[in-house]
Amino acid sequence: MGQGLSCRVQDEHGLFTAVQFGDLEIVKTVLERDPSLIQQKTVYDRHSALHIAAANGQIEILSMLLENRSVNPDSLNRHKQTPLMLAAMHGKIACVEKLIQAGANILMFDSLNGRTCLHYAAYYGHSDCLQTILSSARTSHVASSWGFSRFVNIRGGKGETPLHLAARQRRPECVHILLDSGALVCASTGGHGLPGSTPLHLAARGGSMDCIRELLAWGADRLHRDATGRIPYAVALKHKNGACAALLNPSSAEPLVWPSPLKFISELNQDAKALLEQALMEVNKEREKAILKNTGYSMPSPSHSDTTAMDDNISEASDSQLCCICFDQLCAIEVQDCGHQMCAQCTLALCCHNKPNPTTLSLPAPICPFCRSNIARLTVVKVKVNTADQELDLYSSPKQRKSRKSMNLSEGSSSFRSLSAVPSFGKIVGRGSGRVSVDIEIDKP
């Protein structure tokens, strides 16, 4: 698949060897002596000097070769693979960027598996290359001719999309990028794996809990059957992936689903989106712990230092920033334009739900619980640190947050954290503006 680029063929002039090991001076000397060698290819694999430079990450030589107008950035080897495919395959991000800048075609298919550079980046788990190729597709002629969504779901020779390959090869970061870019979570393959397999079937076969978690959070169907009638649960059992099977068991609770309800939020701040995604994964991990509790499997526990940092930060935070819905977490999300604030978990409770019914034509837009207006935009809350009057970004990790001293309220006041057991959501909705002020009158015993 283009992996063996050690120039095992006879290389009398030394050009290919010099390109492979990045000897720019020798390359220049050889080409000055005989400029026609720039079109030379290896005997068997038909690799050009550009292929070898791209696969080995020799960016200086690659740039020098591309300056020659006679060099085709889409030169083909024996399997009709382009230098861009080999750069994406080997994770050479600088070469990927340079080739795309030079006009390399991201829509080329090889003859080995009928795959593109996007397939190769997803298969080998090079998320930076994957992101670069997708960014190029948004701004190039591909978006206007093919359409970006069609490109994200481009199929290989056996009907496999990049998402299928990323899920099968245990590449959760690539799975997330593709889903976030519009990859179809329930697309079926043709002949790749078993016919009719979805990304969830292939993730169950590969045994990646992270991939399964991502796919379920984006609405993957646990009851979808492949051509043999097997659901992902059966695939996980067959390949002895017991923990994955426990999550995929149709009798276990459905996870929260991220994308569908938040389609109503037209302007979702990227930081807020990342924060909500993180919170959703944490909620689903709690669900997973309950599922795995009696199966002999366990979730990896967070490090003690991270847990301590989070607890210390919450306990030392000013009570004025606690979410007045749950009275347990810091306000992290702000609704615009009304300005009401909630923690990420309560925002999820408003905007996310269990897997939606596919027969439902429309879903109600999420509504702010304080003023009953439609939620159209969410941003990350930034508050002031009392001691130095500096901004505290609630999107940052607990280790990055600055510790803060509790405010001295009047004698006898109690912490809002003790009110975490809220009787009902409806009783809280009518209270105030969503921001808890330190001037609130508190009853004394």
Q: Which fold has domain 155-259?
A: 1.25.40
Tell me which DSSP letter residue 435 carries.
-
Helix count (H) and strand count (E) of the chain? 20, 8
Please check whether residue 295 is in contact with residue 367, taking contact to mean a CB–CB distance below 8 angstroms.
Answer: no
What's the pLDDT score for residue 314? 39
- Per residue in 44-95, pLDDT tens? 999 999 999 999 999 999 999 999 999 999 999 999 999 999 999 999 999 9
Pair 179, 143: CB distance under 8 Å: no
The answer, yes or no, to whether the previous bond of 210 is cis (omega within 30 of 0) is no
Q: Regarding the domain with residue range 260-269+314-351+369-394+425-445, which homologous superfamily does it belong to in the CATH classification?
A: Zinc/RING finger domain, C3HC4 (zinc finger) (3.30.40.10)
Outline which parts of the chain fall under CATH 3.30.40.10.
260-269+314-351+369-394+425-445
pTM to 2 decimal places? 0.74
What integer pLDDT is reported at residue 363 of this predicted model? 61
- What is the tens place of the pLDDT at every residue in 157-201? 999 999 999 999 999 999 999 999 999 999 999 877 788 999 999
440 has a pLDDT exceeding 50: no
Q: What letter does residue 341 receive in the DSSP assignment?
A: E
CATH fit for domain 1-113+129-137, picks 1.10.357.10, 3.40.1800.10, 1.10.150.120, 1.25.40.20: 1.25.40.20
pLDDT tens string 6-59: 444 446 578 999 999 999 999 999 999 999 999 999 999 999 999 999 999 999
Residue 198: Cβ within 10 Å count: 27
206 neighbors 172 (Cβ within 8 angstroms)? no
Burial class of residue 171, CB neighbours in 10 A (0-12, 13-18, 19+): buried
Across the chain, what does the average pLDDT equal?
Answer: 78
Structure tokens given for 187: 């697309």
Ranges for all domains in the chain classified under CATH 1.25.40.20:
1-113+129-137, 155-259
